[in-house]
Structure 1
Amino acid sequence: MLKYQDVAEKIKQTIYQQKLPKDTQLPNIEGLINQYQVSRTTIIKALNQLERHGVIYQIQGSGIFVRQPKKSGYLNFLESHGFSVDLNDLPGASQVFNVDIIEPDKKVKENLRCGDDEHVYYIKRLRYVDGEIYGFEQSYYRKKLVSYLNKEIAEHSIFSYVKDICKISIGFSDKYFKAIKLDAEIAKYLGLQAGDPALCVEEIFYTSAGEPFDFSKIIYHYDNAKFYVQSHSK
């Protein structure tokens, strides 16, 4: 984790742990520099990240303020820091069905830019939030970059493992959305009926160097999954 990301996380945790209400004014840039003992550049980058994530808003000449907290249980539609991280306001869990090493098919190979001799980890799991099925996920991780995965890791936050243990700096992602009708197999996992509507999201995650390491597809439960988007003017 880069220094500005660490500072941004500390500021965010302070806001959430102290349950600071909307429009609470935070210390100014000089105050934050003194508090966290980092450079002006680091603080500015941290604040810009928090603003992009909808945690704060800044008014030139007036200060830095807490933005309206997101509603509990809602998933940020635009962020790419992982399912578990974004829903940490509610208890989550995963039911893992398999963690296998496979040869990628054409679609996975193209999305992950795999070489001809590369293998990937294939993980299939149900994601739960507050005891309710939230979505059915199929993920493919490049073994070249994520050298080891098992069921125990997959039951928790793979992204935390990737960052903390594999030391991969996660950069950005590309998301693709489409509305679908469930087939019988996926409907059974979600506890729904074949032909029911669902939102399918395919996402490619990249390292900070721009190399793809994870291709995931999540099919969300139409009645349980909830999303939000926070925009800003910049």
Structure 2
Amino acid sequence: MNELDPQSIVPLYKQLKDLLLQEIKEGIYKANQKIPTELELSEKYQISRMTVRKALAELVEEGVLAKKQGKGTFVQEEKMTEDLSSPNSFTNLCKRNGKVPGGKTLKCTLQEAKDRDRQQLKLENGEMVILVERVRTADDVPVMLEKLYFPGHLKNILVEDLNNASLYQILLEKYGLQSGNSVMEISVCEATPEEAAELKVKTGTPCLLMEEIVYDQYDKPFHRTKSVLRGDKFKYISPRMNVVKHVNSN
């Protein structure tokens, strides 16, 4: 058992914090696992509960641990991180975060285009749309419910097996099309009963709502997407660049 050193110049709360971090890294405490209580840690390492509380508070603030009312303190599962300056497919997002991508197709149908489809996808009068609805998984855990709307002329989508498959890879192979630029809007929503059932969460659970228009490599509308993502599974970052204006002193 690792011991804390009261004679060290490193404060005891910092020693405990570092020790817990190391044990989490080594897998002694795994994601979503409950850690010992303040009292148990206090007795185990012969330190005050105030010292334990300070160490745990810092780990909670840093997102390593999470307190659940009436249940205790748990190890936070590391969220999948996506850089908004260079977004990529769900498959690649999972692979970059060390997860195994998967999915289940709920619906794949040809249907009448709505006004929003015609406007955002630049459809001709009478052109249909293909709706693909899928639950996406990471390490077999449902994390995203997505609805993708494609122009109806991409009919090969309808005969493809999209379970555990990369739709982008299929479109590249069948049509030579690949995603390019996109316009994305992210907001917060609450899971409806239907969404909650597919994502294995409680109704009303806070989620991320992502709506996106994706263009192909020729800058033509490729598809529009509406996705509901579990808020406990994703983290999006966006680099910010300051523009320095030079003032002419002459």
Q: Same-fold call, TM > 0.5?
A: yes
Q: Residue 128 in 1 paired to residue 137 in 2? A: yes
Counterpart in the other structure of 2:156: 148
What TM-score, normalized to structure 2?
0.59
- Contact 2:90–2:101 under 8 Å retained in 1: no
What TM-score, normalized to structure 1?
0.62
Return the match for 1:163 from 164, 169, 172. Answer: 172
Q: Report SS of the residue matched to 1:209.
A: coil
Structure number with greater CO (CA < 8 Å, separation at least 6) is: 1
Deviations, residues 117-175 of structure 1 (Å, cap 9, x unaligned):
1111111111111222211101111122x231135135311111112321014321110
How far apart, CA to CA, are the structure 2 residues paired with 1:151 and 1:227? 31
Read off the aligned partner of 2:165 and give its amino acid letter: H
CA RMSD of aligned residues (A): 2.3
Q: Residue 79 in 1 paired to residue 79 in 2? A: no
Q: How does 1:30-45 map to 2 (within 5 A)?
A: none
How far apart, CA to CA, are the structure 2 residues paired with 1:113 and 1:176? 19
Deviations, residues 8-31 of structure 1 (Å, cap 9, x unaligned):
xxxxxxxxxxxxxxxxxxxxxxxx
- Contact 2:106–2:134 under 8 Å retained in 1: yes
- Which sections of structure 2, spanning at least 5 residues, go unmatched? 1-77, 244-250
Structure of larger gyration radius: 2
- Contact 1:127–1:136 under 8 Å retained in 2: yes
Counterpart in the other structure of 1:186: 195
- Contact 2:101–2:164 under 8 Å retained in 1: no
Q: Report SS of the residue matched to 2:234.
A: coil
Quote the offset at 1:78 in angstroms. Answer: 3.7
- Which sections of structure 1, spanning at least 5 residues, go unmatched? 1-70
Read off the aligned partner of 2:103 and give its amino acid letter: S
Provide closer, same or farther for how the CA distance between residues 199 and 78 of structure 1 changes in structure 2, counting only shifts above 3 A.
Answer: farther
How far apart, CA to CA, are the structure 2 residues paired with 1:104 and 1:162? 20
Counterpart in the other structure of 1:116: 125
How far apart, CA to CA, are the structure 2 residues paired with 1:100 and 1:134? 23
Return the match for 1:214 from 219, 223, 235. Answer: 223
Residue range with higher mean Cα deviation, 179-188 or 150-159 = 150-159
How far apart, CA to CA, are the structure 1 residues paired with 2:84 and 2:143? 14
